[in-house]
């Protein structure tokens, strides 16, 4: 039986990165949001009518999900695309009369799926663990799911909750989801519900209970806005410059992305930002009044660029609510700590197959001189043009065969 591998692989290469000075003037077209793109692809797959998605993300994760949804194979290898794996676990469970094996990279097989799989089972799904219990790969037999009431721990992963919400309108009895514990990454849940609402879905969210009745998605063409998570690396770059005028295109001033809070955070780290005719412009403000403690419960993806920025500015901040970061592409807190220690000796930075490691550490060459980044192509997971965009900003990128 043919196994369809749906992740794009690139030649492993390292690169040297430097900048001739610390003055940056550039205009950058930011990548589309993969978070929004991935949600829209699932809505599109569930919708009975066709609609177009404009400006879809060209990230490796989104391409993997799109290929999986269009695949005719019943064996799907999603590689390292975590969000795609979670969303497909729910979606494939609703494909009545079809059976699937859903698998991924070695790292994916270490990332727990219990909370989502067990919740889907309670809603009537047929899911088996093919290797280690509560971990990928999964055997899924699609059914017309009954739905009903289910509880899920909000501290584990917001992606589990979004995966359930996206299929909720297709469940016979709808969904009454009770979230227990503290809810991590709440803006991503709001994003999911906001997009569903755009496509005609009504819901209620009272206290810790979200209710969605059985109903149909209504087709409409949609355009994906640029990624605020990608913008965070440009805020980091701006913080390290002497002078800058960085124009970022494609962002929404009224964004549904939680990482838009990067504007407020970096205003306290010497970076002023303002929207002018739809373009976000970054300049220096020389204000430094960052708090001594910072809770990242709602925006954990900002940890790496913030931590690297504070290190480069020689500022110490105590972060809290970082528990979900241990189950990402790598243990992000441990990986960042390991690599920051290298600035006492060598400047060869490991990326741990994590796109955000490469993009967070590269700007530190503005403070510490030339760096070497391992596996430079890891950025294809979310921001394929990252190195090209850095060159537009005057960075010198020298690929090295690995």
- Give per-residue pLDDT as tens, 273-322: 999 988 999 999 988 999 999 999 889 899 999 999 999 999 999 998 88
pLDDT of residue 126: 97
Coil/strand/helix, residue 372 = strand
Per-domain residue ranges of the chain: 4-31+226-401, 34-222
pLDDT of residue 100: 96
4-31+226-401 matches 34-222 in fold: yes
Asked whether residue 34 carries a pLDDT value surpassing 50, the answer given is: yes
Asked whether residue 116 carries a pLDDT value surpassing 50, the answer given is: yes
For residues 382-390, give the mean pLDDT.
96
Radius of gyration of the chain (CA): 21
Cα–Cα distance measured from residue 139 to residue 361, given in angstroms and rounded to the nearest whole number? 38
pLDDT of residue 401: 67
331 is known as an active-site residue: no
Cα–Cα distance measured from residue 353 to residue 381, given in angstroms and rounded to the nearest whole number? 10
pLDDT of residue 391: 97
Residue 157: pLDDT band by 50, 70, 90 thresholds?
A: confident
Cα–Cα distance measured from residue 99 to residue 113, given in angstroms and rounded to the nearest whole number? 19
For residues 117-136, give the mean pLDDT.
95
Asked whether residue 164 carries a pLDDT value surpassing 60, the answer given is: yes
Task: Report the alpha-carbon angle 56-5-47, nearest 5.
Answer: 40
Q: In this predicted model, what pLDDT tens digit does every residue of 45-86 receive, in sequence order?
A: 999 999 999 999 999 999 999 999 999 999 999 998 889 999
Cα–Cα distance measured from residue 136 to residue 29, given in angstroms and rounded to the nearest whole number? 36
Each residue of 216-249: b (16+ CB within 10 Å) or e? ebebeebebbbbbbbbbbbbbbbbbbeebebebe
For residues 205-210, give the mean pLDDT.
97
3-state helix, strand, coil in the chain (%, to 5): 40, 25, 35
In percent, the amount of the chain with pLDDT more than 90 equals 85
Cα–Cα distance measured from residue 113 to residue 109, given in angstroms and rounded to the nearest whole number? 9
Work out the mean pLDDT of the chain and round it to a whole number. 93
Residues with Cβ within 8 Å of residue 376, at least 6 apart in sequence:
13, 14, 15, 358, 387, 397, 399
Cα–Cα distance measured from residue 286 to residue 271, given in angstroms and rounded to the nearest whole number? 7
Closest CA to 156 of 105, 189, 112: 112
What is the H or E stretch that residue 348 is in? strand 348-349
Task: Report the alpha-carbon angle 56-170-153, nearest 5.
Answer: 85
Cα–Cα distance measured from residue 234 to residue 230, given in angstroms and rounded to the nearest whole number? 8
Catalytic site residue from 227, 301, 354, 375: 301
Going from the C-alpha of 32 to that of each of 57, 70, 199, 384, 385, the distances in angstroms are 5, 21, 20, 11, 11
168 touches 150 (CB < 8 A): no
Residues with Cβ within 8 Å of residue 171, at least 6 apart in sequence:
94, 123, 145, 146, 147, 148, 214
Is the domain defined by 34-222 classed in CATH 1.10.1030.10? no
pLDDT of residue 5: 41
Pick the CATH number of 4-31+226-401 from 3.65.10.10, 1.10.620.20, 2.60.120.380, 3.20.20.70: 3.65.10.10
For residues 359-369, give the mean pLDDT.
96
Q: Which residue has the higher pLDDT, 326 or 363?
A: 363
Q: Residue 221: what are its φ and ψ, rounded to 5°? A: -65, 150
Going from the C-alpha of 370 to that of each of 89, 155, 173, 373, the distances in angstroms are 43, 39, 59, 10
Torsion of CA 120, 258, 60, 358, to 10 degrees: -120
Instruction: Indicate left, alpha or beta for 270 from its phi (over 0: left) and psi (-120 to 50: alpha).
Output: left
pLDDT of residue 12: 60
pLDDT of residue 277: 86
Q: Encoding tokens for residue 195? A: 């997009």
Residue 402: pLDDT band by 50, 70, 90 thresholds?
A: low
Residue 161: pLDDT band by 50, 70, 90 thresholds?
A: very high
pLDDT of residue 239: 97
What is the H or E stretch that residue 75 is in? strand 75-77
């Amino acid at each position: 039986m043919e196994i369809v591998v749906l992740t794009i692989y690139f030649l492993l290469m390292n690169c040297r990165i430097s900048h001739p000075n610390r003055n940056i003037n550039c205009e950058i077209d930011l990548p589309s949001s993969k978070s929004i793109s991935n949600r829209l692809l699932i809505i599109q797959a569930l919708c009975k009518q066709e609609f177009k998605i404009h400006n879809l993300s060209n990230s490796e994760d989104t391409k993997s999900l799109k290929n999986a949804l269009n695949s005719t194979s019943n064996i799907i290898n999603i590689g390292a695309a975590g969000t795609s794996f979670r969303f497909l676990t729910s979606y494939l469970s609703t494909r009545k009369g079809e059976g699937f094996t859903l698998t991924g990279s070695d790292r994916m097989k270490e990332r727990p799926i219990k909370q989502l799989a067990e919740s889907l089972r309670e809603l009537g799904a047929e899911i088996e663990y093919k290797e280690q219990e509560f971990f990928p790969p999964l055997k899924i037999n699609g059914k017309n799911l009954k739905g009903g009431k289910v509880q899920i721990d909000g501290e584990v992963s917001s992606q589990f909750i979004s995966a359930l919400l996206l299929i909720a309108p297709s469940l016979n009895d709808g969904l009454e989801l009770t979230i227990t514990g503290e809810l991590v990454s709440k803006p991503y849940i709001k994003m999911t519900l906001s997009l569903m609402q755009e496509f005609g879905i009504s819901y209620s969210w009272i206290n810790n209970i979200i209710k969605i009745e059985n109903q149909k998605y209504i087709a409409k063409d949609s355009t994906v806005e640029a990624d605020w998570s990608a913008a965070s690396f440009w805020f980091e770059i701006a913080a390290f410059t002497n002078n800058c005028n960085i124009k970022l295109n494609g962002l929404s001033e009224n964004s549904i992305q939680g990482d838009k809070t990067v504007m407020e955070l970096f205003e306290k780290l010497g970076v002023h930002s303002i929207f002018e005719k739809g373009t976000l412009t970054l300049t220096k403000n020389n204000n430094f009044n960052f708090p001594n403690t910072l809770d990242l419960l709602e925006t954990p993806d900002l940890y790496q660029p913030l931590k690297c920025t504070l290190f480069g500015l020689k500022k110490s901040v105590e972060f809290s609510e970082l528990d979900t970061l241990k189950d990402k592409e790598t243990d992000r807190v441990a990986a960042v700590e390991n690599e920051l220690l290298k600035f006492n000796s060598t400047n060869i930075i490991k990326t741990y197959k994590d796109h955000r490691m490469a993009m967070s550490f590269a700007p530190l060459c503005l403070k510490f001189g030339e760096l070497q980044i391992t596996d430079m192509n890891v950025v294809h997971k979310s921001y394929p043009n990252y190195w090209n965009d850095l060159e537009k900003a005057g960075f010198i990128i020298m690929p090295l065969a690995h």
